[in-house]
Amino acid sequence: MQVTLMNGKIHRASVTQVDLHYEGSISIDRTLLDAAGFLINERVEIYDVETGVRFATYVIEALEGSGTIGLNRAAARLAMTGDKVIIVAYASFDAAEARAFKPRVVLVDRENRISPT
């Protein structure tokens, strides 16, 4: 049997830009990608804390240390600059793996810098 668990999460990041004409779906600062364990082109779920909108898209890399959380193309219509979002990637595990697995949770401050709490 396989179960699906949260693999990684960036919690309450601020959307820094929206661009209907940019290639890609969500641009995430390289520092945050690495901390959350996200891969380029990986499917992620986005939960907009402000509006309750939930949608899926794929990851592209933004400049390391930039604090960028950018929604692009169709995703740009689903949130506004300044909205707080939760970005989550999921993975499938067998029962033994699932019991031992610990997800990566990245908390950020107002500038999307990694915060200890």
State the fold for domain 2-105: Barwin-like endoglucanases (2.40.40)
Q: Is 58 a catalytic residue?
A: yes
The one catalytic residue in 22, 58, 66, 90 is 58
Mean pLDDT by 10 residues, the chain (117 residues): 96 97 92 98 98 97 98 95 98 96 97 91
Domain spans of the chain, in order of start = 2-105
Q: Is 25 a catalytic residue?
A: yes
The total of other beta-carbon atoms located within 10 Å of residue 7's CB is 19
Report the candidate in 16, 21, 15, 23 with the shortest Cα–Cα distance to residue 55. 15
Report the candidate in 56, 53, 1, 63 with the shortest Cα–Cα distance to residue 32. 63
Quick one: pLDDT at residue 23? Answer: 79
Quick one: pLDDT at residue 62? Answer: 97
- Predicted TM-score (pTM) of the model is 0.95
Quick one: pLDDT at residue 89? Answer: 98
